[in-house]
Chains A and B, each alone.
Chain A
């Protein structure tokens, strides 16, 4: 048992480290290091522009989407090399936020289902960040129940005509392309009548409207489709096989290892180390320590769970299912941590402006952003279902709409 690199891993790490040291945008390092959930922005620059510039620089030197094949803009690296890169990239990795969906979900789906000429033309600019992609799955009538979506695609010659509405689409307002899940046959059971496409977000009939979130910010959008035309060669997978295609996408969403989930614990420990309470330093208070200790072991538990997965990658094995706990644990933990940080501030915890609030309001921002982390990319409840069904082997939910034609399923709760 050890934490040492193999000689090849050590060599790769040294190369990556040297390149990052020579090329990363150091002027933003401190700010990125201090940014936390609900507050990833730069004071003196537009973070989207900085992110795109960094991604392009990486791509030009062969450091973008490391595990992708070289022909598609990657480096052909092993999974462990990708993890080492993420470790070395450190705070600059926070600049990858706007590319996560494109690189983590759209890219792998294109790679598995797109035509060869499309892969060669669309994937390299996706890798280099010159083109940004979004994922158009969720709808007002289909969130956790993605297969309940209603956006229609109807065949018209060599094209498909799209009408409907998507919601919670991260980054749609700055995206160039998207992968789109639609209903092509409402007369069969809901999972059986779906088809996947990719499309140009600038197509006529696509309208993006930002959603003002509960936190006040706008990371997500509604996207409306009015008679949008998509050529059939942009279909991904067979007609009515979209559900299986989407499983590839969603599997990738939860596979990201080594990036490290945000728990808020380092920020809270740091805060408590300097905070003075009425009776003395917070860190010397037994009650504070007890709370800190409980979060400390969750944070370290997640860290070493991820190390176990990385070790499996290093040996060329498939990681076990244990990494599936990350989002579930971190999501509610960061919410609790933020709530407690404000509790320690007493009445002044109510301030949210950077001038009046403690530590520039980082915990207030965290608190307001946190509810979203427990919903996006699989709610806490969906994550528990996944653990119960795929890891523990418990039965799936009884689905009353499973064998019912989609257009015969109920659409209203009451009345």
Chain B
């Protein structure tokens, strides 16, 4: 049994960690946090040069042709560094949708551009309140044009193209939904940035008005493709969340060792020690569930839907838990803008909603376990 990443993959993780420690310091993250830039363009360029953006994109389409396990270890480091770049929207959502359902021409147009850092992509799924469900897709597609409003769209204000979920039928079934690719630079859209919990990753509203769009995948297959995209993204996001959990835990541990109160290190009080031990427990459960997700993703196993949901839930819980208690360990200083704790708190809570919230995935997990048991 070798339920672990290979030495090469671990080396890649170290390489990514080193690169991000240098190019993505908390100071750099704060430029985006403070609204001085919509994302870190220099870092994005650097990630392309390192080959990280195209690590799971086949060589034929300009990528490194490595695989999803390699992408997982990079994702972990992106989460640890709280990187203020549109990595998840572009790489986990847009690129994966194209890999699953794109035509050769679509792949040729977008994938090399993604790998080179020249195109930012996203997925436009949500329309206000609610979790992923065909019922919640109201935006219509007819005669090659889209009409409707999508929000929130992650990184929508800086995206060059979007994969859009649209209604093409009214039977009340999954087959009513189809996917489209829209080149956002061609007009027909009005894009508005919206204030959100985590300013280091923008959220936008996109208003589509007779916007030209080309189908992605077969008509009526949209929901089935989306489900696959969300499962893959759930695993990859889980690795970001695992990286973020570990970093928040480390920050709390380090502060507990440095801070003196009542004449001793605060990390010598059991109330603080036990809080940190519980954070370690959450982070460990999340990591192990995510490894299983990585295995299922990389082997395209039948267990992927269940493994992805478990990774999603466990990693979301861990990141929220570690980020919130990291502030608690820091006391008053943790609640200042100056300390970095709130950046992880913001990221953890924003990520908890991005692919559908916890309650959605909890329901999905049990549904999928039942289906597996019935089969």
Beta-carbon contact of B362 and A322 below 8 Å: no
Scoring A residues 321 to 351 as 1 if CB is less than 8 Å from chain B, else 0, what string do you get?
0100100110000000000000000000000
Beta-carbon contact of A293 and B362 below 8 Å: yes
Query: Contact partner of B3 among A269, A292, A304, CB < 8 A?
Result: A304
- Quick one: closest A residue to B252, CB to CB? A392
Scoring A residues 53 to 95 as 1 if CB is less than 8 Å from chain B, else 0, what string do you get?
0000000000000000000000000001000000000000000
Nearest chain A CB to B7 CB, angstrom units: 10
Query: Contact partner of A1 among B69, B362, B369, CB < 8 A?
Result: B69
Beta-carbon contact of B366 and A283 below 8 Å: yes
**Alpha-carbon distance between A315 and B2 when the two chains are bound, in angstroms:** 8
Q: Could you list which residues of chain A lie within 8 angstroms of chain B, going by C-beta atoms?
A: 1-5, 9, 80, 269, 273, 283, 286, 289-290, 292-294, 296-298, 300-305, 307-308, 310-312, 314-315, 322, 325, 328-329, 381, 383-385, 387-389, 391-398
Beta-carbon contact of B270 and A397 below 8 Å: yes
Beta-carbon contact of A293 and B313 below 8 Å: yes
Beta-carbon contact of A394 and B366 below 8 Å: no
Beta-carbon contact of B363 and A289 below 8 Å: yes
Q: State the 3 A-B residue pairs at the shortest beta-carbon distance, nearest first.
A: A301-B285, A293-B362, A388-B273
Whether B351 is near chain A, meaning CB under 8 Å from some CB there, is no
Query: Contact partner of B276 among A269, A283, A381, A394, CB < 8 A?
Result: A394
Beta-carbon contact of B365 and A273 below 8 Å: no
Scoring B residues 130 to 164 as 1 if CB is less than 8 Å from chain A, else 0, what string do you get?
00000000000000000000000000000000000
Query: Contact partner of A292 among B249, B253, B366, CB < 8 A?
Result: B366
Scoring B residues 347 to 368 as 1 if CB is less than 8 Å from chain A, else 0, what string do you get?
0000000000001011101110
Beta-carbon contact of B2 and A314 below 8 Å: yes
Chain B hits for A1, CB < 8 A: 2-6, 69, 291, 294-295, 298
Beta-carbon contact of A297 and B253 below 8 Å: no
Beta-carbon contact of B2 and A325 below 8 Å: no
Beta-carbon contact of B362 and A305 below 8 Å: no
Whether B82 is near chain A, meaning CB under 8 Å from some CB there, is no
Q: A293-B362, A394-B268, A395-B257 are in contact. List 6 more A-B contacts (CB 8 A).
A: A3-B3, A293-B361, A296-B369, A300-B314, A315-B4, A384-B278
Known contacts A388-B276, A392-B253; A314/B285 CB under 8 A: no
- Quick one: closest B residue to A304, CB to CB? B288
**Alpha-carbon distance between A328 and B367 when the two chains are bound, in angstroms:** 28
**Alpha-carbon distance between A296 and B372 when the two chains are bound, in angstroms:** 14
Most buried by A among B276, B310, B366, B370: B366
Could you list 23 examples of A-B contacts with CB < 8 Å? A3-B1, A80-B1, A273-B370, A283-B366, A286-B363, A289-B363, A294-B362, A304-B289, A307-B3, A308-B288, A311-B2, A328-B277, A328-B281, A384-B270, A384-B274, A384-B277, A385-B270, A388-B276, A392-B253, A394-B272, A395-B264, A395-B265, A398-B264
Beta-carbon contact of B366 and A289 below 8 Å: yes
Secondary structure dominating the interface of B: helix
Known contacts A388-B274, A394-B257; A311/B3 CB under 8 A: yes
**Alpha-carbon distance between A340 and B368 when the two chains are bound, in angstroms:** 22
**Alpha-carbon distance between A393 and B258 when the two chains are bound, in angstroms:** 12
Beta-carbon contact of A297 and B314 below 8 Å: yes
Beta-carbon contact of A322 and B288 below 8 Å: yes
Query: Contact partner of A381 among B6, B267, B270, CB < 8 A?
Result: B270
Beta-carbon contact of A395 and B1 below 8 Å: no
Nearest chain A CB to B312 CB, angstrom units: 9
Known contacts A293-B313, A307-B3; A301/B284 CB under 8 A: yes
Nearest chain A CB to B340 CB, angstrom units: 19
Nearest chain B CB to A84 CB, angstrom units: 9
Whether B184 is near chain A, meaning CB under 8 Å from some CB there, is no
Beta-carbon contact of B4 and A325 below 8 Å: no
- Quick one: closest A residue to B311, CB to CB? A297
Beta-carbon contact of A398 and B288 below 8 Å: no
- Quick one: closest B residue to A380, CB to CB? B274
- Quick one: closest B residue to A305, CB to CB? B288
Known contacts A384-B273, A387-B277; A2/B363 CB under 8 A: no
Known contacts A293-B313, A293-B362, A293-B366; A392/B268 CB under 8 A: no
Beta-carbon contact of A297 and B289 below 8 Å: yes
Chain B hits for A80, CB < 8 A: 1
Beta-carbon contact of A394 and B362 below 8 Å: no
**Alpha-carbon distance between A384 and B69 when the two chains are bound, in angstroms:** 32
Nearest chain A CB to B237 CB, angstrom units: 15
Nearest chain B CB to A398 CB, angstrom units: 6
Beta-carbon contact of A325 and B69 below 8 Å: no
Whether B236 is near chain A, meaning CB under 8 Å from some CB there, is no
**Alpha-carbon distance between A228 and B313 when the two chains are bound, in angstroms:** 57
Beta-carbon contact of A5 and B1 below 8 Å: yes
Chain B hits for A293, CB < 8 A: 309, 313, 361-363, 365-366
Nearest chain B CB to A106 CB, angstrom units: 29
Nearest chain B CB to A363 CB, angstrom units: 19
Chain A hits for B92, CB < 8 A: none
Beta-carbon contact of A304 and B366 below 8 Å: no
**Alpha-carbon distance between A325 and B281 when the two chains are bound, in angstroms:** 6
Query: Contact partner of B273 among A286, A303, A310, A385, CB < 8 A?
Result: A385
Nearest chain A CB to B324 CB, angstrom units: 17
Known contacts A310-B1, A311-B4; A393/B253 CB under 8 A: yes
Chain A hits for B361, CB < 8 A: 293
- Quick one: closest B residue to A322, CB to CB? B284
Nearest chain B CB to A315 CB, angstrom units: 7
**Alpha-carbon distance between A322 and B270 when the two chains are bound, in angstroms:** 20
**Alpha-carbon distance between A1 and B249 when the two chains are bound, in angstroms:** 26
Scoring B residues 289 to 311 as 1 if CB is less than 8 Å from chain A, else 0, what string do you get?
10110110011000000000110
Chain A hits for B362, CB < 8 A: 289-290, 293-294
Whether B182 is near chain A, meaning CB under 8 Å from some CB there, is no
Whether B373 is near chain A, meaning CB under 8 Å from some CB there, is yes
Beta-carbon contact of B274 and A301 below 8 Å: no
Chain A hits for B313, CB < 8 A: 293-294, 297
Whether B286 is near chain A, meaning CB under 8 Å from some CB there, is yes
Beta-carbon contact of B1 and A314 below 8 Å: yes
Chain B hits for A325, CB < 8 A: 280-281, 284-285
